[in-house]
Amino acid sequence: MTRLRILYITLFSLFALWANGQSVDSLIAYADEQFTAGQFNLAAKEYQRALFFGPSESVGALTVKTGDCFLEQKMFSEAEKYYHFASNIIQDDSLRFEALSKKSVCLIHQHSYQQAILDLFNVNTEFSARATNQKEFLLGTCFFGMGDFKEAETHFHLALEEGEIAKKETIKTLLQSKKLMKPDPQTAYWMSIIIPGSGQIYSGDFKSGINSAALYFGFMALLLNMTFTSGWVDAIFTVAPWWQRYYTGGYTNAKKIAFAKREANRANIYRQIFHLINER
Amino acid sequence: MRKVKTIGIVISFISFATFLGAQDRSYLSSLENTFTPQMHEHHYSHYVKDAKNPLDFIFGALYLSYKTFISSQDMESCVFHPSCSTYAIESIQKKGYILGVINAFDRLTRCHPFAGPNYPYDEKSQRLYDPVD
C-alpha cells in the first residue's frame, strides 16, 4: 500500500514538472488575436490579466491596449481611465501623446471639452509636425463642441499645412456660416409661446407645427364652448388643464426641435471640416 | 550579469515600441459623427400592421393616432417605462380585450409623481420600470 502511494506521488510530481502555466507572452498573443477578430470584450479581459501578471516594462503598452478594447466598444468612460493611467506612466513623448490624444477623443465623445483642452495643452508634440497637426485638430474639435467657432477656426487652420490655403478658406467660410446658429432654440421657444406651432414651423418641422396649432386652437374652441354652455367653473376644471398641457408641450417641443435641427446643421459642418483636414 | 540586464532592457524597449510605435490614427475616425444628434426613431405602426382581427386593428389604429398626433405634442409626463399608452396596447395584446383594458386603467391610476418607491428605476429610459406581467 505504502509502495503504491509512493508510486502515485512520484508520478504526479513528474506530471507537475511536465505541466506548464500559460506564459504572459502567449496571453498577450491570444489577446491580440481576439482584438484583431473583433472580440474586444474578451481581449480586454486578457489584457487585464496580462497587466496583472506581466512585467512592469510592458504596463504602459498593455494599458493603452486595454483602453483600445473599450474605445472600440464605445465605452468611452472606461477607455479614458486606461489612457489616463497610461499617459501618467509612459515616458516616451510620442507614445504619451498617443495615449493622451486617445484620452481626448474619449473626453470629446463624453462632451468633456474643457478637460480635453487641458490635457491637450499640456502634451508635448515637438517631436513631430504630424502630432502637432493632430493636437490642433483635436483642440479645434473641442472648441467647436463648446460653440467657440472663432477659436475652433484658429486651431483647425493650425491643423493644416502652411500651403493648404484653399482648405483654410473653405474652413473659414464654413465656420462663419449662419447655419451654425440657426434655428435658434430660444427664438423658436418664444415664437411658439406667442403663436402656438410657429416655433416648430420656423425650425422646419411643418407637421409638428400644424399639429401643435390644431391641438391648441381645438382645445381653445372647446374651452370657450364649455364656458358659454356650462359655465367658466366647469370649463376651467375640465378643459383648461388639457389646453394648458398641450400649449406648454408645444413651446417646449419647439425649443427641442430647433435645438436638434441646429445640432444637425453643426454636425454637418463639422463633418465637412473633418474630411477636409483628415483626407490628404 | 550587466550584459543580461542590458539585453533585457533593449528587448523590452523594442517590444514596447513595436506594440505602440506605429501611430494609428484610426481612432480619430470615430470623431466624424461625434456631433450628430442621436435621433430616437419610434415605430408605432407595427401594432396596426400585425393586427390579427378588426378589433386588434382598431386598438392599434387608436394607439398609432394617439402617439402621432397627441402624445408627440405633450411633454414627457408619464413616470413609467413603457409609457401608459404602450402598456395599454401590450396589455390588451397579452391579456385580451376586457382584462387588458382593466389593466390599462389600473396603470393609469398608478401613474403619478409619488409612484417612485414601489418600482425599480430603469437607467436607460430614466423612468420607473413597470412592464406588463
User: Looking at the predicted structure, is the pLDDT value of residue B14 above 70?
Assistant: no
Task: Say if A1 falls within a structural domain.
Answer: no
Euclidean distance between CA atoms A138 and A155, whole angstroms: 8
Instruction: Give domain limits for chain B.
Output: 46-129
Pick the residue of A36, A57, A90 with the most B CBs within 10 A to test the interface with B by mutation. A57
Measured between beta carbons, the chain B residues lying within 8 angstroms of A43 are none
Q: State the cell numbers at B120.
A: 425599480
What's chain A's length in residues? 280
Measured between beta carbons, the chain A residues lying within 8 angstroms of B123 are none
User: Looking at the predicted structure, is the pLDDT value of residue B30 above 50?
Assistant: yes
Domain boundary among A101, A124, A147: A124
pLDDT tens, per residue, chain A with 280 residues: 677 788 777 776 666 555 555 677 888 888 889 899 989 999 999 998 888 887 777 788 889 999 999 999 999 999 999 999 999 888 888 889 999 999 999 999 999 999 999 999 988 888 888 889 999 999 999 999 999 999 999 999 999 988 888 999 999 999 999 889 989 999 999 999 999 999 999 999 999 999 999 999 999 999 999 999 999 999 999 999 999 999 999 999 999 999 999 999 999 999 999 999 987 6
Measured between beta carbons, the chain B residues lying within 8 angstroms of A27 are none
Calculate the dihedral angle through the C-alpha atoms of A260, A261, A267, A269, rounding to the nearest 10 degrees.
-160
Among the listed residues A165, A228, A159, the one whose alpha carbon sits nearest the alpha carbon of residue B28: A159
The more confident residue out of B1 and A48 is A48
Among the listed residues A265, A266, A250, the one whose alpha carbon sits nearest the alpha carbon of residue A190: A250
Euclidean distance between CA atoms A215 and B117, whole angstroms: 35
Q: What is the pLDDT of residue A279?
A: 78
Write down the number of H helices and E strands in chain A: 15, 0
Euclidean distance between CA atoms A39 and A33, whole angstroms: 9
CB contact under 8 A, A141 and B37: no
B115: phi then psi, degrees, rounded to nearest 5: -75, -15
Complete DSSP assignment for A84-96: HHHHHH--SHHHH
Euclidean distance between CA atoms B23 and B25, whole angstroms: 6
Measured between beta carbons, the chain A residues lying within 8 angstroms of B13 are 57
Min Cα distance A31 → chain B (Å) is: 13
CB contact under 8 A, B75 and A248: yes
- Tell me which residue in B9, B20, B35 faces A64 most closely, judged by beta carbons: B20
Task: Say if A134 falls within a structural domain.
Answer: no
Amino acid at A145: G
The more confident residue out of B78 and B12 is B78
CATH code where residue A118 lies? 1.25.40.10
Please give, one letter per residue, the 3-state secondary structure of chain B.
CHHHHHHHHHHHHHHHHHHHCCCCCHHHHHHCCCCCCCCCCCCCCHHHHCCCCHHHHHHHHHHHHHHHHHHHHCCCCCCEECCHHHHHHHHHHHHCHHHHHHHHHHHHHHCCCCCHHHCCEECCCCEEECCCC
Q: How confident is the model at residue B13 (pLDDT cuts 50, 70, 90)?
A: very low
Measured between beta carbons, the chain A residues lying within 8 angstroms of B29 are 278
pLDDT tens digit sequence for A57-93: 778 888 999 999 999 999 999 999 999 999 988 888 8
Q: How confident is the model at residue B116 (pLDDT cuts 50, 70, 90)?
A: confident
Q: What is the pLDDT of residue B24?
A: 56
Q: What is the pLDDT of residue A21?
A: 57
Q: What is the pLDDT of residue A17?
A: 56
C-beta of residue A88 within 8 angstroms of C-beta of residue A63: no
Euclidean distance between CA atoms A97 and B113, whole angstroms: 50
Say if residue A111 is in the same domain as residue A192: no
The more confident residue out of B1 and B81 is B81
Pairs of CB atoms within 8 A across A/B: 95
Min Cα distance A15 → chain B (Å) is: 31
CB contact under 8 A, A264 and B37: yes
CB contact under 8 A, A274 and B39: no
- Tell me which residue in A245, A253, A270 faces B35 most closely, judged by beta carbons: A270
Task: Say if A143 falls within a structural domain.
Answer: no
CA-based nearest residue in chain A for residue B40: A260
The more confident residue out of A271 and B38 is A271
pLDDT tens digit sequence for B50-89: 888 899 999 999 999 999 999 989 888 899 999 999 999 9
CA-based nearest residue in chain A for residue B12: A57
The domain in which residue A120 lies consists of: 31-124
Measured between beta carbons, the chain B residues lying within 8 angstroms of A130 are 23
Task: Say if A13 falls within a structural domain.
Answer: no
Q: What is the pLDDT of residue A151?
A: 94
Task: Say if A94 falls within a structural domain.
Answer: yes
What is the number of domains present in chain A? Answer: 2
Euclidean distance between CA atoms A105 and B30, whole angstroms: 8
Runs of H (alpha helix) within A122-184:
129-146, 149-158, 165-175
C-beta of residue B102 within 8 angstroms of C-beta of residue B111: no
Instruction: Count Cβ atoms below 10 Å from residue A202 Cβ, excluding itself.
Output: 21
CB contact under 8 A, B72 and A211: yes
C-beta of residue A69 within 8 angstroms of C-beta of residue A35: yes
Amino acid at A31: A
Q: State the cell numbers at B3.
A: 550584459
DSSP SS3 for A171: helix
Task: Say if A70 falls within a structural domain.
Answer: yes
DSSP SS3 for A55: coil
Min Cα distance B1 → chain A (Å) is: 19
Min Cα distance A4 → chain B (Å) is: 46
Euclidean distance between CA atoms B80 and B119, whole angstroms: 9
Q: What is the pLDDT of residue B16?
A: 45
Measured between beta carbons, the chain B residues lying within 8 angstroms of A103 are none
Task: Say if A101 falls within a structural domain.
Answer: yes
Measured between beta carbons, the chain A residues lying within 8 angstroms of B25 are 134, 278
Burial of A280 (0-12, 13-18, 19+ CB in 10 A): exposed
Q: What is the pLDDT of residue B19?
A: 43
A185: phi then psi, degrees, rounded to nearest 5: -55, -35
Q: What is the pLDDT of residue A156?
A: 93
